[in-house]
Structure 1
Amino acid sequence: MKTLRAVPGDVRLLCFGIFFNAVVSFTFIYLFVYLTGPRGLSVGHAGVIGGIGGVGLVAGNLTGGWFGDRYGHRRALLAGSVVSGVLLAVLGLLATPVLIAALPLAQYASGVVRAANSALVAVGVPEGSRRQGFAVMRFASNAGFTVGPPLGALVAAHWSYDWLFVADGAGTLLFAAYAARVLPARGAAHAEPVHDPRAPGLRRELRVRPAVPVLLAAIVCVDLVYRQQYSTLPVFLGDHGMDAHVYGWLIALNSAVILCLELPAAHALRGRAPLSVVGCGLLLVGLGYALLIPGAALGWAVALMVSLTLGEILYKTTATAYVADQAPPHAQGRFQSLYAGASISGQVLAPPLGGALYTAAPALLWPLCAVLAGLAGLAVLWARRLPGPLTGGDTGGDARPAPETGSTLRAAAG
């Protein structure tokens, strides 16, 4: 496949490890069930604990790139994997008060790993092929998450939920061992240093790239909307006579379309202006939720998921690659952390905000989701006009940055 050939071998090996790690990362899918079941906690207490863990995950995504830029992305990946793996393996044995403290730390370490994975792909794939690189990474992750949940259900049914934590922790430690073996430990002598104390700070780098903050703000808004499919959407469907089986098939449709189309789409659109592709993707997310405004018929629900999935295919890979292409070599990790934090912010924001609005005024939820995603898409399309530190004259925010030198996986390994 042309997309795979555009990705260096080291990155393909890393993506195989990401697939394996995603397969065993089923703990947090069943965390709420575990807390309200074997742990005997109330729904409210379980929600608070889950929310605290989500905050840890977002914080890890936001700060993991700083560790990578300063100490090496390989070191950040290995340290985060070891900490996360050890904590997950013992989580089921901890008393509830200790669990409340250990869970966000485990999630924080997982966020560091997520940011390090993105940074390693960003520096390991040459500028011009990064969309394909991130598409391969997302394919590996989505394929793993497709296999993981039913596998976790089998483990919980045949043994216990405690074994989910043990399997997840052991798998994460195996991923760390695998990554330590396949990722190069040292960079070439001529490579760009990961940390340069004389380099401009992050705020200055963002000021000269104004399209990047606009994109990040748009991603926060659309992630709040996008993740309603995991919180208020199943409640909405249930309230209109569609049970969990319908919802399960809709999520399966989402996964199937992504696995079939994302890699070909990344290859086919590799020459298109990135912000144009991202903006159209965000508009499709808004259109999807607008389709629920007329009612909750099965046809509208399927149309929602198709539109949402096509929008995701357009914006997620392209936005990640755009941020990587805009990042200077000394701040690649921090740029990826900013994007990673923005792209997962809805995990913390979507359930409480969407749930509160659906409880207070259910008829307003989907129109507001559609408007918010639509405005985010229009903002990204407008950001194409913004200047940046680019070559080729007055090319605007959708242009390609100057080619990077020394920005390779070996340089970032630390």
Structure 2
Amino acid sequence: MGSIRHTLRETLTGLPGAYWWLWTSTLVNRLGGFVVGFLTLYLTLERGRSATYAGLVASLYGLGGAIGALAGGALADRVGRRRTMLWAQLCAAAATVALALVSGSVPMAVLAASLGAASGAPRPAAQAAMADLVDDEDRVRAFSLNYWAVNIGFAVSSAVAGLIATHGYVWLFLGDAGTTLLCALVVRLRVPETLPAATGSGSGERPGTERPAGVGIVLRDAKFMTLVGLTFLLGLVVQQGSTMLPVDMGRHGLTARDYGTVIALNGVLVVVLQIPLTRLTARRGQAVVLAVGTLLMGWGFGLTALAGSVLAYAGTVAVWTVGEILYAPASMSFVADLAPSHARGRYDGVHTVAWAAASFVGPVLGGSALDHWGSAATWGTCAVIGTLTAAGSRVLLGFRRPAGAATGGRV
């Protein structure tokens, strides 16, 4: 028990108070993230739309998220991290309520895309603010704890949303909007502005003298765009967990309930293992952590080719979940290290788009591969992609810029 307390104390202490308010806003927002997971059910069961229409709306939500991430990253570097988060959250709350009230097919589709954009915009701003607030050596720990908050919120909201939906789907939308407003209130009252141009502490220049970087300078950063390409490849693999994994389990005679049980293990393991693994890898090199995490994700999905029972599938999920726990905070920290302090929002926005693009392409490629190549070849390809991505990440980190070289250290 004393060892657990010691681990928690060392993991949770030493970060600035402003970081913890930002962490709290993330947790509050994700605790009320009811709508996205139930959107297709709402459209088909409550509104009587077809599965094709529901899929289209879900895709539009994802497209909006990609656009929102780019716009949010640009705004975070121009008008400030705090202001971008605040206004995007207010817009997201308004779009959520409106989506519950409209009934026409076109308005619902437009509002879903708008909600995706408003929900995607704060993420690069929040990640940039976290990188601004903490010292270089604390970034992996800070992002790890934030990822922990995201998964706690996801686990709780998924369970609570099902209960709320039994009393009417409109309460899901109102609850989601309410927690989004509460998140905005936390940001408004407790989260400071961290944009270097606003504080004047990011590069040693006077406030406002550093021009915000355009997207072009991000796209010309060869190291960063290599990371974006590797992220896209890994995203193709990760997408199979929510798309082709249930199909593969169904072909082995397992049910939707079996899939729910197996995939729930992902969230449980993240909540339970995030802090211990963060502590365990705290003194490991970032290159090693990122490469090992990527390799475990690729081979975790690759092992699905050998699965046929609930227990075996659960074992594969456990492997790639451990990889996810290692990879997520390390990759976010690496993005923060590569980005100049005044351009972190745009870097985070472009990096987010890699995941959004994978969410469009991954399901199509996975479905085609499963139909034409079969299970073994599909999951084997995931292992190959994971191995190549891990190798690429290791090489990329071997030639990285020193942390803080372009940022002037902590801002």
Q: Matches of residues 327-342 of structure 1 in structure 2 within 5 Å?
A: 327-342=339-354
Gaps of 5+ in 2: 1-8
- Checking the alignment, whether the CA contact within 8 Å between 1:6 and 1:132 is kept in structure 2 is no
SS at structure 2 position matched to 1:37: helix
State the Cα RMSD in Å.
2.2
1:81 corresponds to which residue?
89
Give CA deviations for 1:219-278 in whole Å, capped at 9, x if unaligned.
Answer: 111111112111111121122122223222222221121112222322332332223221
- Please say if 1:294 is aligned against 2:297: no
Q: Which amino acid aligns with 1:277?
A: V
- Secondary structure class of the residue paired with 1:317: helix
Residues 92, 165 of structure 1: 8 Å contact kept: yes
Unpaired stretches in structure 1, ≥5 consecutive residues:
391-399, 409-414
Contact 1:69 1:195 in 2 (8 A): no
Residues 339 and 407 of structure 2 are in contact (CA less than 8 Å); yes or no, is this contact kept in structure 1? no
Q: How does 1:149-188 map to 2 (within 5 A)?
A: 149-157=158-166, 159-184=167-192
TM-score (norm 1): 0.89
Contact 1:195 1:330 in 2 (8 A): no
**The structure with more helix, counted as a fraction of residues:** 2
Paired amino acid for 1:135: S
Q: Which amino acid aligns with 2:134?
A: V
Query: Any idea what the Cα deviations from partners look like across 1:295-327, whole Å, max 9, x if unmatched?
Result: 423343122111111110111110101111221
Distance in 2 (alpha carbons) for counterparts of 1:61 and 1:368: 29
Structure 2 residue matching 1:92: 3-state secondary structure: helix
Equivalence for 1:138: 147
In structure 2, what residue type is equivalent to 1:262?
A: Q
Residue aligning to 1:229: 241
1:339 shift after superposition: 2.2
> Is 1:45 the equivalent of 2:43?
no
Contact 2:287–2:398 (CA under 8 A) maintained in structure 1: no
Give the distance between the partners of 2:281 and 2:207, measured in 1 at CA: 30
SS in 2 for 1:129: helix
The one-letter code sitting in structure 2 at the alignment partner of 1:128 is E
Q: Secondary structure at the match of 2:135?
A: coil
Number of paired residues? 396
Q: 321, 327, 330: which one pairs with 1:315?
A: 327
**C-alpha spacing 1:128/1:185, structure 2 compared with 1 (3 Å):** closer
* Matched letter for residue 155 of structure 1: I
CA–CA separation in structure 1 for the residues paired with 2:161 and 2:13 = 33
Match of 1:126 among 135, 148, 170: 135
In structure 2, the CA distance between the partners of 1:174 and 1:45, relative to structure 1 (3 Å rule), is same
TM, length-normalised to structure 2:
0.90
Q: CA deviation at 1:144?
A: 0.5
Deviates more, 1:65-74 or 1:7-16: 7-16
Q: How many angstroms apart in 1 are the aligned matches of 2:194 and 2:144?
A: 26
Instruction: Give distance in 2, aligned partners of 1:144 and 1:247.
Output: 21
Partner of 1:191: 201
What is the CA–CA distance in structure 1 between the aligned matches of 2:128 and 2:356, rounded to whole Å? 16
Q: Which residue of 1 aligns with 2:383?
A: 370
* 1:25 Cα offset (Å): 0.7
* Structure 1 ranges of 4+ moved more than 6 A: none
Question: In the alignment, which residue of structure 1 is the partner of 2:274?
Answer: 262
Aligned equivalents of 1:222 and 1:406: distance in 2? 30
- Name the amino acid aligned to 2:22: L
Q: 1:176 to 1:292 in 2, by over 3 A?
A: same
Q: 1:186–1:232: structure 2 CA closer, same or farther, 3 Å change rule? A: closer
1:402 corresponds to 2:405: yes
**Structure 1: distance between partners of 2:161 and 2:207:** 38
Identical positions, percent: 29
Paired position in structure 1 for 2:20: 12
Change (3 A) 1:79 1:194: farther
The CA distance in 2 between the partners of 1:53 and 1:200, in whole Å, is 27
Q: What is the CA-CA distance between 1:102 and the residue it aligns to?
A: 1.0
In the TM superposition, residue 156 of structure 1 has moved relative to its aligned partner by: 0.7
